[in-house]
Chains A and B, each alone.
Chain A
């Protein structure tokens, strides 16, 4: 956090709460982690309960998911570069890199929606079996988180565009990118446990 303090000239005089807020956000992420852990546990219990419906290997398409994964992973990379630009007070670069991040995130969400819609259309909806219920809920909860992150990113970009890189928006970018990397890590687990182990 020190480099933020030294590099922003117009730092408000009384603000000492930054690292408390970042720490609080870390704790929040840990609670979110427990939330996903519970959903993973549910998936682990139910993933064989296909109830006559399809199993994972019958419905997952490895290439499709790989593209999804690459989109999300590269968005994490661009998000990281965007944050470095923010610490260097390069406003245009911040907006540029986060726009790329945003587009990658949106394409991830769209791909996921298309995948879900396809599954539902061919009759493999969350109502079909306990396995599909837990699959939709686990992956969908992650998708919901990504969507919330995208909304936050959009609002923050509009703010930075109009008001510049204030101390509070740099702090929020820090939180947003923590959130974004966290979702990436969760996705890696989903990719491994749900898709790879499901196909294998």
Chain B
């Protein structure tokens, strides 16, 4: 038996496009290593970031990874759109059919798992403990481990570009195509293990944040006094803990099918491939709401602050969140009405799908009523928000259309569907994440982003989006299916595909402006320093501490008596004079979370290539690291009251 399993020299890339991508990635890594060495920042990187257990830094790392992966996902889009705009009739475009399939699979996986999820957990990490007046999450070490598992999944997914290949079976890799018989390569295994490892990280985060919200709220913050972002994270994390185990099982069963020859989803041996589709979507549909609920929370915070009004219909907002949490588990079948489950089943799921639009509609109206007669600030966040309202409503209506099974039979797997879910995810999730980053940026880094670049980016995003996806709705109705690498000229689709390509170009410009916004704001940070800790005249607790907050967040844990308590106190000019500092226990920095992530990455790699000795070795490594951590009785240290007072004075002096 080969000591390296299925791994051999043939695994290195052959074709030009992959080779180019792999080279670019390697050059970027070498450049990164060189830069850190040149600026002598290794020890800083190690002490401040890699070994950290501070939720704010972990949040920043999540968002950093998401931005990097976002660039890769966007590069995929450019290839896809170029291919579809040019590959018509006699011309066959720039990439081969097989490679095209890998690109759209990678695009979906990257954008959902490593961009949207990364942004979500990043922002939740940054904000949630501050917003509920806590010093950290419930289990800081577990939080770091979650991040490193997420990073391990990301590394594994990118390794497939250099060693081997990625799945070409689509972002959810349906069997029978993803079974060994039809996908004998390692692509599907890479897909399985990068999601399995990153998904485990998400599951741990879900447990962590749920416990944090239930157990670590500050004094006086009853459930109905929680900020709406916290409520939405509460709903999201409930979904995570209920949905992600299903993903774990589904991926594991597919791997067993491919590796030891079980018959869960195979065409032979009594397997049931539609069971895979059912299982993956009973995770996948809640996943959609896992992504969008925190964004809803962000919108609720931002629209209320920038309209200078209390959020309209707080109770109905909370109710809407929980209605969505419940309903999101009973609509999964609308992803495959064409399975032919029968009239009754399809009708039930169709109706549930229409019903789930109701709480979402309630939220839209509540946001609009919050703006009504408010003193609205038209900054970049609000422009993104209005773009969201406009696009999300259109996309939502298209969704309700497809909830009718009879119509869905026509639109299933067409570009109409692709346009619909991109409308929901880009406007709902991505715009929300952009707003979240711009809104909480000064809290974390201590200076504001320059708004004008953000406004330009927002307008370009909205226009670019309409130009890129408007044609796809039309193409879908004209009969264009998704995942086409080539089509005949007589279809007359090419002009619309070209328009969509132009839209991608406009979005690229928008992204460029976002980077310019980051760079220019960083250079001119001294003009935009936030010395008050409350740059937006905020309403919730995270604005009551300094920007950036000390590593223990609050020198004295806050106490609240109202919803939007910080705002109420500002209006009444109340200032807490309670200055009794107490000792704080802080979790020490530790590299073990990173070690566990690395070992998990190695585990995934050896599972992909069937290198069984390495698999066992890395599994033992994980167990040993966990044992080292659990037998360590001194994982925390005490920051004495006098030390807290000293740090707090410095901060207070700044304010």
Contacts and interface: CB of A to CB of B under 8 A. Distances in A.
Interface of A: 14, 17, 19-21, 23-24, 27-28, 30-32, 34-35, 38-39, 41-42, 45-46, 49-51, 126-131, 133-134, 136-137, 151, 155, 159, 166, 168, 172
Given A31-B245, A137-B264, 11 more contacts: A14-B585, A24-B138, A31-B203, A32-B245, A126-B262, A129-B269, A130-B262, A130-B263, A130-B272, A134-B264, A166-B633
Nearest to A159: B631
B245 A34 contact: yes
Given A34-B241, A46-B272, A168 B633 contact: yes
B358 interface: no
Interface of B is mostly: helix
B245 A35 contact: yes
A55 to B, nearest CB: 11
Given A27-B207, A38-B279, A46-B264, A51 B269 contact: yes
B638 A14 contact: yes
A34 B263 contact: no
B210 A27 contact: yes
Contacts of A131: 270
Interface string B441-470: 000000000000000000000000000000
Interface range on chain B (Cβ under 8 Å from partner): 35 or more
Nearest to B246: A38
Nearest to B268: A51
A127 B272 contact: no
Interface string B169-199: 0000000000000000000000000000000
A34 B242 contact: yes
B211 A42 contact: no
B279 A31 contact: no
Interface of A is mostly: helix
B157 to A, nearest CB: 23
Contact of B249 (A28, A38, A46, A129): A38
A38 B250 contact: yes
Contact of B263 (A27, A133, A168, A172): A133
Given A34-B242, A51-B269, A42 B264 contact: yes
A33 to B, nearest CB: 8
Contact of B275 (A20, A45, A127, A136): A45
A41 B246 CA distance: 10
Contacts of B583: 14
A51 B248 contact: no
Nearest to A39: B249
Contacts of A34: 241-242, 245-246
A20 B242 CA distance: 20
B241 A30 contact: yes
B279 A49 contact: no
Contacts of A51: 263, 268-270
Nearest to B216: A20
A12 to B, nearest CB: 9
B138 A20 contact: yes
Contacts of B30: none
Contact of B244 (A31, A129, A159): A31
B489 interface: no
13 contacts: A14-B585, A24-B139, A24-B208, A27-B210, A31-B203, A34-B245, A38-B249, A38-B250, A49-B271, A51-B270, A127-B261, A127-B263, A137-B264
Contact of B253 (A14, A28, A137): A137
Interface string B235-248: 00000011011101
Interface string B613-655: 0000000000100010011010010100000000000000000
Contacts of B261: 126-127
8 tightest A-B CB contacts, nearest first: A49-B270, A130-B270, A51-B270, A133-B262, A35-B245, A34-B245, A38-B249, A130-B263
Interface string B248-289: 111001001000111110101111100100010000000000
Contacts of A42: 249, 253, 264, 275, 279
